[in-house]
């Protein structure tokens, strides 16, 4: 009795599965060359009835054959819900047919041929952006050749650099400069900090003021050693340079913070420069320097640590002011041109955002869709 019941249940299950498989209707099957790619792929798409979405046990077998061939080759399986299958094993210039099999139903599409596209229109906005950048750079260069001055608004924190070095000289105390723990030599903030270091070191050499540079990274240490050495040489004070003042502390964050705090406490510098990439050690260093009465000039691109610098330091370079500092201090034309181009591009981007917001409010989303599509 139990055996007969088991056979009956199994037969009912198989019949139900077969009926379910036969009831799956694949519609709107298309095969086309995959758009905006480098060739070598064909995309097959399909659809099916909405009331069959949750049916269990359905899957689609996908077969392919080249033009002139009789035998179909199975190339993959897909669930109906996926609605797409990308065949990446085709050769460009060859026509293919595809057969989709779901239960007892078959759908044949083709022939279709893959080819490479020379331009991805989805990235058109990026191309437009590059053209705008090139035009802005050319316009600024032309303006400069016609004699127009390159104006950079005054940055109080950078104007105070000479004041800080002079203060340290008058008090007979050293300067401490550190780029923070959060960066390495590849970070833009570290490179910007080393550019400012060159100016500070040259002033320190001219005033014969001791400069201490603790860091957590041996590569930054080597780069800083070279920057300071060259600054002293340019100032005509090469013999005054002390290599031991460029100090490697440790790669540990808290160890680095403790080492720098120790230097501040022992040497009691009159000026402290905290310029670079800072993390949790920012407030520790700033508070320690404040406790010894040092004049502090800080700057970073970290929005979290900027708040600590603003309340604990005398002057703070906010975000991109740190990157503009090297051009401001050296008056290097290439850097100043770059800053001016960036300002023009920010203005253009701001106008685009305003225009896009107005158009979207009025019901036209073409500009937003075009920018978002890239």
Tokens of 132: 């705008």
- Give the tens place of pLDDT for each residue, 15-29: 444 444 445 566 677
| Residue 55, pLDDT above cutoff 60 | no
Tokens of 345: 């591009």
Look at the domain 2-113 and name its fold.
Answer: Immunoglobulin-like (2.60.40)
- Establish how many alpha carbons lie within 13 A of residue 139's alpha carbon, considering only the half-sphere containing its beta carbon: 12
The answer to whether 110 and 97 have CB atoms below 8 angstroms apart is yes
Q: CATH 2.60.40.10 in the chain, residues?
A: 2-113
Which one-letter DSSP state was computed for residue 363? T
pLDDT at 109: 81
The answer to whether 102 and 94 have CB atoms below 8 angstroms apart is no
Which pTM does this prediction carry?
0.64
3-class secondary structure, 281: coil
For residues 255 and 287, give the distance between their C-alpha atoms in angstroms, rounded to a whole number.
17
pLDDT band, residue 49 (cuts 50/70/90):
low
- Establish how many alpha carbons lie within 13 A of residue 73's alpha carbon, considering only the half-sphere containing its beta carbon: 10
Q: At what angle do helices 124-145 and 333-361 cross, to 10 degrees?
A: 140
For residues 278 and 259, give the distance between their C-alpha atoms in angstroms, rounded to a whole number.
15
- Give the tens place of pLDDT for each residue, 296-335: 999 998 888 888 999 999 999 887 888 888 777 777 777 7
Q: Within the chain, what is the greatest distance between any pair of CA atoms?
A: 108
Q: From residue 105, give the alpha-carbon distance in Å to each of 19, 231, 303.
A: 12, 80, 60
Pick the CATH number of 156-331 from 2.60.40, 3.40.50, 3.30.2420, 3.90.550: 3.40.50
pLDDT at 4: 53
pLDDT at 157: 80
Position with higher pLDDT, 72 vs 333:
72
pLDDT band, residue 218 (cuts 50/70/90):
very high
> Measuring CA to CA, which residue among 129, 37, 36, 34 is closest to residue 371?
129
Q: CATH 3.40.50 in the chain, residues?
A: 156-331
Question: Can you name the residues that pair with 300 across neighbouring β-strands?
Answer: 318
pLDDT band, residue 36 (cuts 50/70/90):
confident
3-class secondary structure, 111: strand
- Give the tens place of pLDDT for each residue, 127-183: 888 888 888 888 888 887 887 777 777 778 888 888 899 999 999 999 999 998 988
- Give the tens place of pLDDT for each residue, 104-130: 777 788 788 888 878 777 777 778 888
> Measuring CA to CA, which residue among 99, 83, 23 is closest to residue 57?
23
Q: From residue 215, give the alpha-carbon distance in Å to each of 133, 208, 292.
A: 36, 22, 20
Q: Please, where are the H alpha helices in 76-217?
A: 124-145, 156-171, 188-207
């Amino acid at each position: 009795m139990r055996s007969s019941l088991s056979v009956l249940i199994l037969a009912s299950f198989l019949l139900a599965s077969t009926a379910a498989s036969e009831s799956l209707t694949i519609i709107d099957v298309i095969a086309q060359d995959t758009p905006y790619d480098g060739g070598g792929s064909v995309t097959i798409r399909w659809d099916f009835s909405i009331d069959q979405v949750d049916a269990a046990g359905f899957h689609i077998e996908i077969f392919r054959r080249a033009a002139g061939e009789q035998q179909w080759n199975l190339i993959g399986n897909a669930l109906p819900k996926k609605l797409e299958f990308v065949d990446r094993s085709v050769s460009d210039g060859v026509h293919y047919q595809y057969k989709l099999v779901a239960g007892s139903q078959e759908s044949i599409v083709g022939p279709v041929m893959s080819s490479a596209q020379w331009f991805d229109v989805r990235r058109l906005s990026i191309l437009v952006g590059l053209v705008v950048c090139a035009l802005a750079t050319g316009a600024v260069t032309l303006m400069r050749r016609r004699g127009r001055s390159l104006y950079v608004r005054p940055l109080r924190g950078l104007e105070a650099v000479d004041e800080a070095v002079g203060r340290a000289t008058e008090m007979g105390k050293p300067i401490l400069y550190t780029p923070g723990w959060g960066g390495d030599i590849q970070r833009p903030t570290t490179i910007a900090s080393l550019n400012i270091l060159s100016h500070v070191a040259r002033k320190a050499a001219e005033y014969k003021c001791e400069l201490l540079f603790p860091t957590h990274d041996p590569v930054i240490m080597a780069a800083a050693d070279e920057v300071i050495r060259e600054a002293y040489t340019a100032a005509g004070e090469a013999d005054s340079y002390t290599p031991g003042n460029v100090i490697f502390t440790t790669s540990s964050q808290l160890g680095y913070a403790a080492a720098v705090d120790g230097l501040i406490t022992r040497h009691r510098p009159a000026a402290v420069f905290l310029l670079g990439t800072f993390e949790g050690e920012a407030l520790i260093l700033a508070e320690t320097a404040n406790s010894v009465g040092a004049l502090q000039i800080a700057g970073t691109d970290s929005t979290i640590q900027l708040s600590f610098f603003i309340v604990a330091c005398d002057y703070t370079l906010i975000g991109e002011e740190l990157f503009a500092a090297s051009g401001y201090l050296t008056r290097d034309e290439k850097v100043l041109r770059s800053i001016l181009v960036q300002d023009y591009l920010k203005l253009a981007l701001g106008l685009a955002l305003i225009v896009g917001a107005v158009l979207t409010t009025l019901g036209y989303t073409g500009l937003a869709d075009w920018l978002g599509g890239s």
